[in-house]
Amino acid sequence: MTNLLLEWVIKCGVMLFILLTAVAYLTFLERKVMSWIQLRTGPNRAGPWGLLTPAADGLKMLLKEDILPTAATKWLYIIAPAISVIPALMTFVVIPYGGTVNLFGRTIELHVTNINIALLYIFALTSLGVYGLAIAGWSSNNKYSLMGGLRSSAQMISYELALGLSIVGVLLLSGSLDLTKIVESQISAWGGYRWNVFLQPLGFPIFFIAALAETNRTPFDLPEADSELVAGYHTEYSGMKFAMFQMAEYLNLITSVSLSVTLYFGGWYGPGVETYPLLGVFYFAAKAFVFIFIIMWIRFTMPRFRYDQLMKFGWKVLLPFAIVNVILTGTMIMILNS
């Protein structure tokens, strides 16, 4: 029992370190990608090739004055960033980033924990994050912040339905809510790989687009909308509270790409994983990196939706197509089984 507890603590510590480091360097990568697309240099002052920029940014955030608006509802204003970032961190305990390896004479599974309702757990936690945005918008006592909080709530409701329905096809194909079993179901009987993206050509685009909207990424960044709402729900925030909102956004981004890889692209599986299980971690990270780069590319090449376009697209396009995908998948499985 003690060994299992120690293993769990070590896994949590390693995962927390990796996630916080990844969040720091994703901000650096995003600025670099933006500079490449716009034919600029990008951050290159702090350290060699600018690699110490995230450390400099973190130090700057720590030293900035922590402003507390006079008219704000103080205790809600203070806890709102934590309500956003804590659920974003908790989702990673069930995401499998590798198979089973033998290290130091022990068999270690490359995930923090494994539960048979992992997908429900993730959706439950990710739906809590929006409370932090809504509370931040309301408690700041600022019209721009309030509009951003209201937009985030409406956007989450509109796209959560399509997001949930888009994965029903995957669940029908795998017959499980366990993420490990969903990955294993994408290995064909003759030893090849049967990625769900090929069996769900409609479901994956719906999932990917809805995930962009759920994480408030361009072209769905209406809750922040700099040109309209200054900075939306975090207009009145500064210092580490502002940094926590940024952390939550990038953690949710990592969660969405990790789910994309797990549900549709075979997770950690790839050539040679059966012989060298640690290769699975690199396959998982490489697939996730490709998605992150695509999402950043989208941000700097596509314009923002108008708010009415955002809502119409969610309710009149994505939701009907998600329902059609469920019907088609169910019909296909019924025909094949019969």
Q: pLDDT tens track of the chain, all 338 residues?
A: 677 777 778 888 888 888 888 988 898 888 888 888 888 888 888 878 888 888 888 888 888 877 787 777 888 888 888 888 888 888 888 888 887 777 767 777 878 888 888 888 998 888 888 888 888 888 888 888 888 888 888 888 888 889 989 999 999 988 888 888 888 888 764 455 688 888 888 999 999 999 998 888 878 887 777 677 777 777 888 788 888 888 888 998 999 999 999 999 988 888 888 888 888 889 999 999 999 999 999 988 888 888 888 889 989 999 999 999 999 998 988 888 87
Query: Does residue 88 belong to any structural domain of this protein?
Result: yes
Query: Does residue 148 belong to any structural domain of this protein?
Result: yes
Question: Among candidates 293, 270, 295, which has minimal Cα distance to 283?
Answer: 270
Query: Does residue 215 belong to any structural domain of this protein?
Result: yes
List the domain range (segments joined by +) for residue 230.
Answer: 71-99+113-337
19: amino acid identity, one letter:
L
If residue 278 lies in a helix (H) or strand (E), which one and from where to where? none
Cis ω for the linkage preceding 219 (within 30 of 0): yes
- List CB contacts of 43: < 8 A, sequence separation 6 or more: 28, 31, 32, 35, 50, 53
Query: Does residue 121 belong to any structural domain of this protein?
Result: yes
- The fraction of the chain above a pLDDT of 70, given in percent, is 96
| Count of domains observed in the chain | 1
pLDDT digits 0-9 by tens, 144-198: 888 888 888 888 888 888 998 999 999 998 888 888 888 888 876 445 568 888 8
Query: Does residue 108 belong to any structural domain of this protein?
Result: no
